[in-house]
Every structure is written in structure tokens, then in C-alpha cells.
Amino acid sequence: MPAPVPEQIYPDVAAFGSLAAALRAVAERDGLDLDGVTTAHAPGWINVGARVAEADRIASVVMASEVRAFSSELWSKGVCLSRGATEDLEMTAALLAFWCGGASLAEVRERYPFMIVGELALAHERGTAVEVKWRLLLQSAPDLVRPAVEAAAGQPALRGLFPFLSHNTLRFSRCTGYPYSADVPHVEPTYGNRFRVVAPGGSLVVEGANARDAAAAVASGLPPGFPPAVAGTARDLA
């Protein structure tokens, strides 16, 4: 059975019975717009997570179990753009309201330096996530799948899609947010620098191909005029 909010660590939250209620109370007192904050699922306890959504922006926060810390995540269009933690409940409420009110990532980082904002997050905000993700993937891909990444990067039809790795499998998405689309073949490493290409439905397209041929098989399987990736999630595409 989940335990209630621990009063010894979070007396200010326990007084209101839930994190969401505590955030609403702080927001009302400080003149912040957090009317839409709701309790969000968090494992282990009850009433220790909260979430607020405004248009295409989501801010979520969960309380740490061993020490006092409010861990926040800022989302937009299926992408977690920033995360960080503070002990301050009032600051957390202000952060959530600031993000959902339309603040940029640069403004978030300047006002709340405990929030981490990475290069890819800034690229998502600028609309250059596909280009930056390819560059970062080319720099960091593990040896097992690196030849496939390099070969795929040379295919113009694939270079417009959002690439990502899942269990050393190279996948491509027509959207830059999660959940990603699942309508493009993917490339799996096998042995001896060889790869297989698997269709979205699970059928085998190519087995035992070198990296260049595997990437070409994925590209040639796309319909003419296959669109480049767009911001959002697979649900948006649907």
C-alpha cells in the first residue's frame, strides 16, 4: 500500500494532503496561474506527483523519497526539454507557472539555474532537432551500430527523418517527439559488421547486408515524396 506524504520531510506539503494541493495554495498566495495543476501518478507514495498542462506545454514534478527535493520536468510536443530539482516548494510552483506561461528555455535556464537544458533541447525549440540529432548520433553511436548510422546519414531520404537508437537498433521517425512513429523500416546489427533491415510490421527486408546496402534498403522502401520529420508525436501524425 503506498505511503502518504512524509510530514517529517515535507511538512508544507503534508499540511495540504497532496503536492498538487500545496502547489495550488502557493500559486494562489503568490498570484501565479496554476489552476490546472493535478495530481499525477508517482510510484511508492500517494499524492507526491503533480502535473500541469497548457496548450502544447507540460510541467511535471515529483517529490524525492529520502531527502527533500522537488524534481521537475518541462515538456513540449512529446519531448522532455529540461529537468532539475530544488528543495523550495515556492520556487517549484513559480517554475511550473513560468514554463506553462510561455517562457523560453533560455529564460528558464537564466531564472532557474538548477534546471538542465541541453543542446538537443534548444534545437527542438529552434526547430532544428533533426539536424542536431543526426550530428550528435554520428558523434556518439556505439561501435556496433556506428557503420549503419554513418551509412544512413548519407541517404538524403533518411537524413530528413529523426534518428534514434533503441537497444543498438537504428530507427527513424517522422516526428521528433515521443511516442515516435513506427512506420519506417529499422536496421539491426547482426554479426561481422553485418545488418538486417526489418519492416514496420516485423517482416524481414534484408539479411546479412553491409551498412551501405542496409541503409539503401531502408531508403528505397520509402514511398516517393516521403515527408521529413515534423515536431510533435505519433499521435499528432495520426
- Closest Cα partner for 221 from 237, 238, 204, 208? 204
Q: In this structure, which long-range contacts are made by residues 20-27, counting pairs with CB atoms below 8 Å and at least 24 apart in sequence?
A: 20/47, 20/50, 20/51, 21/47, 22/89, 23/50, 23/61, 23/89, 23/92, 23/93, 23/96, 26/89, 26/90, 26/93, 27/93, 27/97
Sequence-distant (≥ 6) Cβ neighbours of residue 134 within 8 angstroms: 153, 159, 163
Confidence of residue 5 (pLDDT cuts 50, 70, 90): confident
Mean pLDDT, rounded, for 144-159 = 97
- For the chain, give the percent of residues with pLDDT over 90: 87
Q: How do residues 14-27 score in pLDDT, each as one tens digit?
A: 999 999 999 999 99
Give pLDDT, residue 1: 47
